[in-house]
Chain A
Amino acid sequence: MKRIVSLNINGRTVEEAIPDNLLLVDFLRERQALTGAKKGCDGGECGACTVLVDGHPRLSCLTLTASCAGTEIETIEGQARNGRLSTLQRAFHENLGTQCGFCTPGMIMAAEGLLRDNPDPDEDDIKSALGGNLCRCTGYVKIIESIMVAAAEARR
């Protein structure tokens, strides 16, 4: 069954006929060509597909698009504005928070959700907010540092 769903993606209103069983990650990647959200485990275990739905981190591989009618979706593609990286993106770049980059969109969107909720997080807050995001390259030290730097930058 299909239905007409209207939602806002990175500030742009989109109206489309959506099958009831279409996952948000497939809608974003296959229909909107927003391939930033990654399919890692594809089962809610790795966090690479994290996007913000109404400002809160959600796993797009577990979310039905039809259930997102009327919501605001933010993906990694919405971070950079007018060719300028966002504070978080710049902090990840400058502090080597990105290794292969596969987990980075999910990490940044989870961090974005955290910083909106808590602009001055300590290390434990960051670890807890990124608890569902896996990085298989090296470790999490540089990722945590990058988010600390971005938070300090945003507060200035």
Chain B
Amino acid sequence: MTEVLPNFRLMEPATVEEAVALLNETPDALLCAGGTDLVVQLRKGLAETGTLVSLSGIAALREIEVTDAGLRIGAGVTLSQIERAQVIVDGYRAVAKAARSVAGPAHRGVATLGGNLCLDTRCVYYNQSHWWRKSNDFCLKYRGDTCHVAPQGNRCRAAFSGDMAPSLMVHGAEIEIAGPKGTRRLPLAEFYHEDGAAHIRLEHGEILVAAHLPPPGAASEYEKVRVRGSIDFPLAGVAVACARTPEGAARFSVAVTGTNSKPLMVDVPGDLPPHSAPEAFFAALEKAVQKAVSPQRTTTIAPHYRRLSISALTVRLAKRLT
């Protein structure tokens, strides 16, 4: 990659209010948290801006707070803080494991929760240099009019590749968004939309400020399938949480990433009653995951392999938690 960064001015607001005001004054402003993905995108010409609004100077975004309602993790908390925070390791294991599975340690030291939740979707036809994309007539996601993954379709199929979202979703997370009209909260799963070119519901001028988790109540795990074991985006990733019902049955929550344009909750086939033979339940769970996901030709690895491996991984995690 030889591209240089385009010219921009770097703004470093000290409060969320200042950042919201800056965004609203500047239509082409882009938010930058750790910058581990955005800087690459800017260099490849996948994002353009004259103003970069850095969130690094906002201390209020960097706090992890235990509250009566559970846990509040600021959007500016880094992934290395999350993987090490004892309250998260103890109560929300999938969240700590997902954080640890993102990129390498030098990335995680600056990459943030908010950045990972708002990560751009990825595709083998999109995450390329400018000349590569130009020679291919660009694509539906940016500057072109055809999706090379599904040319007959009318939407972008790029895959959401953040690891944090499914791990928070299985714990029932909500997110807090600040904007010109104040703050709003919504379930994390409703933040996303199945369209690779417009996959998050964040208006210009709004900032994701925190994730809220209810008190811990389920054991959880997160794992992902990837090409390069030590540092890579997920070909597919899955978070599984397992809580006990009053009757002693195992109640699973499953969320996957990397297979669709949004992270999605899987409809789990009921509870696993105590003292029952689990084979039929796990076979049904495996089928449910295969039915829910829709991996496309967005990576160099075949969609079929991703579908089979993520369903097998789901069952492996569910068995581990039972």
Q: Chain B at the A interface: mostly helix, strand, loop or mixed?
A: loop
* Count of A interface residues, CB-CB < 8 Å: 30
Tell whether, in the assembled complex, residue A132 and residue B52 are in contact, meaning their CB atoms are under 8 Å apart.
Answer: no
Q: Is A17 an interface residue (CB 8 A)?
A: no
Chain B residue contacts of A41, Cβ below 8 A: 1
Tell whether, in the assembled complex, residue B109 and residue A57 are in contact, meaning their CB atoms are under 8 Å apart.
Answer: yes
Complex Cα spacing A155 to B109, Å: 26
Q: Is B300 an interface residue (CB 8 A)?
A: no
Complex Cα spacing A54 to B196, Å: 37
Distance of A22 from chain B, by nearest CB (Å): 8
Tell whether, in the assembled complex, residue A131 and residue B36 are in contact, meaning their CB atoms are under 8 Å apart.
Answer: no
Complex Cα spacing A65 to B107, Å: 16
Q: Which of B7, B8, B104 contacts A132 (CB 8 A)?
A: B104
Q: Which of A23, A67, A129, A132 contacts B5 (CB 8 A)?
A: A23
Q: Is A148 an interface residue (CB 8 A)?
A: no
Chain B residue contacts of A19, Cβ below 8 A: 7
Chain B residue contacts of A142, Cβ below 8 A: none
Distance of A113 from chain B, by nearest CB (Å): 8
Nearest to B7 among chain A residues (CB) is A21
Which of B10, B12, B104 has the most chain A CB within a 10 Å cutoff? B104
Tell whether, in the assembled complex, residue A132 and residue B109 are in contact, meaning their CB atoms are under 8 Å apart.
Answer: no
Chain A residue contacts of B1, Cβ below 8 A: 41-43
Stretch from A8-16, A44-52, A92-100 at the B interface: A44-52
Chain B residue contacts of A64, Cβ below 8 A: 10, 35, 39
Tell whether, in the assembled complex, residue A21 and residue B8 are in contact, meaning their CB atoms are under 8 Å apart.
Answer: yes
Chain B residue contacts of A127, Cβ below 8 A: 230
Q: Is A38 an interface residue (CB 8 A)?
A: no
Q: Is B316 an interface residue (CB 8 A)?
A: no
Chain B residue contacts of A57, Cβ below 8 A: 105-106, 109
Q: Which of B10, B39, B40, B43 contacts A66 (CB 8 A)?
A: B10
Tell whether, in the assembled complex, residue A132 and residue B40 are in contact, meaning their CB atoms are under 8 Å apart.
Answer: no
Q: Is A108 an interface residue (CB 8 A)?
A: no
Distance of B231 from chain A, by nearest CB (Å): 5
Complex Cα spacing A47 to B103, Å: 11
Q: Which of B7, B56, B107 contacts A59 (CB 8 A)?
A: B107
Given known A20-B8, A45-B231, contact A50–B40 (CB-CB < 8 A): no
Report A19-70 residues with CB < 8 Å from chain B CB: 19-23, 41-45, 47, 50, 56-59, 62-64, 66-67
Tell whether, in the assembled complex, residue A129 and residue B105 are in contact, meaning their CB atoms are under 8 Å apart.
Answer: yes
Tell whether, in the assembled complex, residue B104 and residue A133 are in contact, meaning their CB atoms are under 8 Å apart.
Answer: yes
Binding site for A on B (CB under 8 A): 1-2, 4-10, 12, 35-36, 39-40, 43, 52, 54, 56, 103-107, 109-110, 230-231
Q: A50-B106, A110-B106, A132-B105 are in contact. List 16 more A-B contacts (CB 8 A).
A: A20-B8, A21-B8, A21-B10, A41-B1, A43-B1, A44-B40, A45-B231, A47-B104, A57-B109, A59-B107, A62-B39, A63-B110, A67-B35, A67-B54, A127-B230, A128-B230
